[in-house]
Amino acid sequence: MIRKIVEGLSVLNYLGSLLFIFGFLMMLPALVHLLFPGSGISARIIFAFVGPGLFLVLISMLLTRKLPTKVPDIQESMIITASAWLVVSGVSAIPIFFILDHSFIDALFEATSGITASGLTIFTGLDQMPPAVLFWRSFMQWIGGIGILTFFLAVSFRGGNAAAILFNAEAHKIHSSRPVPGIFNTIKIIWAIYGCMTVSAFFLLYFEGMTLFDAINHTLTLVSTGGFSTHDASISYFSGFEHGILIEYTMIIFMLMGGTNFLLHYKVGTGNWSALYEDFEMRLFWGLIIGAVLIVGIDIYIAQGPKILSSWTTFHLHFRTTLFQTISVITSTGYATRHLNDPYYPALAKQVFLLLMFIGGCIGSTAGGFKVLRLGILWQTLASELKQLSLSPKAIIPLVIQRKIISTKEIKRICALLFAWIALIWIGTAITLSCTNLDGYQALSGMLSAVSNMGPFFFSTPELAAFPAAVKVCYIFGMLAGRLEVLPIFVLFARLARR
């Protein structure tokens, strides 16, 4: 009993440390409101961010000073991770609830979508929304893109065994090597890469014609592959700009960078450019992108007819739209130059988008989805099993990828994750069908988008906003489970159920 009490107090201590930092971050939109007041400076908007922020700081000081702490084990670290994401999602919803005329469930949905970098939104009228709220949505995605605990470890200068355990619990992925020895050094490199991407994207978008506010917000949601925009029309809003085409290609490049393993960025940055095509996951990633662009492009051509090739302008528009949407979906960014439910995309193209939404980006990236490397491992496992049939029953064929043997334990974990992923999507789809008027195709796209942290779906935003609370809660759970890759959130609820 005493041991369980100490464990619980230790979890609260870690949460207190995280909330101390997050409380100060929550006050930042108040400063943005003073710089970009929109329709005028409002004390209500300032208090909506400063009030909860100060409260979090005070509560966190109480928790960290009065409660004991210890190095968590694997299960405790998963509980800390899941609790942190739940608590941060909840407190992030408070300013949205106070400022906008929506229910707390709606505010929680938007905050969870932001902090998990999912990009699902139930809000319309973004062009008239207070700039502070728009910035808060974008800033949440930027923090959540790499991970809130990773951000906490980076700015709190915590290292050692506790940092390593927490880092691995939040980024519960297939084992991969670190760029340098030491978990804190690894985190610093990840955030250095993330920071460089952020600064570079901002200057490019700003000098290509975006306003200062739009450039800031779209940079935050671009490098995090979150996809929130400041406009209802998303990226098509910029199509009429003088350098609108250049903006689209800039976004394509940074979406690809966000969906790529950050270890690969480090290798390229240190001169190993061959990793872009020698790495097993990257070869599969490029193959999926090229194959999807060809299939979607040809399918649209068959549906639209020869008029697509009538001039360079129409062909380039067709190619650019196909490439942009394919990259946006596979990297889980969710930006759109055309809504996925647009008749422009035929049935086969939508099927390809659904598949890409499930797969997602690379391991160790900001992208969501099941991940390209896991797909490759399962494919190689199938090939190995087929080869085994032609050999002696006693023959052992190790699964080797990138000159490393993939253990049976790792393969079992991937299979378990695949089952949990499919089960979550099926349950969410069933709940959506029972509570809404969507067809099966639309309901599947909605829950798949939530679990894979994608954003796009095959119905309208007003329809999503009109969903009953039960469906929205289901999507909230799906977004959190998908972002934490199921295990931490399951461990937390299993512990609560036992108690």
Tell me the DSSP string of 407-428: PHHHHHHHHHHHHHHHHHHHHH
- Could you tell me the two tokens for 66? 């009065």
Rounded (5°) CA angle 397-400-404:
135
| pTM for this model (two decimals) | 0.90
Please give the pLDDT value at position 53.
93
CA-CA distance, 263 to 148, in Å (whole number)?
19
Please give the pLDDT value at position 6.
45
- Could you tell me the two tokens for 342? 């647009």
- Per DSSP bridges, beta strands 404-405 and 400-401 are antiparallel
Please give the pLDDT value at position 61.
84
Please give the pLDDT value at position 5.
47
Residue of 108, 361, 88, 323 lying closest to 223 (CA atoms):
361
- Could you tell me the two tokens for 178? 């670190």
Tell me the DSSP string of 249-315: HHHHHHHHHHTS-HHHHHHHHTT-TTHHHHSHHHHHHHHHHHHHHHHHHHHHHHHH-GGGGSSHHHH
Please give the pLDDT value at position 140.
94
Q: What are phi and psi of 71, to 5 degrees?
A: -70, 120
Residue of 26, 25, 54, 29 lying closest to 42 (CA atoms):
29
Please give the pLDDT value at position 175.
46
Name the DSSP class of 1. Answer: -
Please give the pLDDT value at position 174.
45
pLDDT tens across the length of the chain (499 residues): 445 544 556 677 778 888 888 899 999 999 999 999 876 778 899 999 999 999 999 988 887 776 666 666 677 777 778 888 889 999 999 999 999 988 999 999 999 999 999 989 999 999 999 999 999 999 999 998 887 667 666 655 455 555 556 566 555 454 455 555 566 677 788 888 999 999 999 999 999 999 999 999 999 999 999 999 999 999 999 988 989 999 999 999 999 999 999 889 988 988 889 888 888 999 999 999 999 999 999 999 998 887 888 888 889 999 999 999 999 999 999 999 998 888 899 999 999 999 999 999 998 888 989 999 999 999 998 888 888 877 777 777 778 887 788 888 888 888 988 998 999 999 999 999 999 999 988 999 999 999 999 988 999 999 999 999 999 999 999 999 888 877 777 666 666 545 5
- Are 264 and 189 contacting, i.e. CB atoms less than 8 angstroms apart? no
Please give the pLDDT value at position 309.
80
- Are 234 and 336 contacting, i.e. CB atoms less than 8 angstroms apart? yes
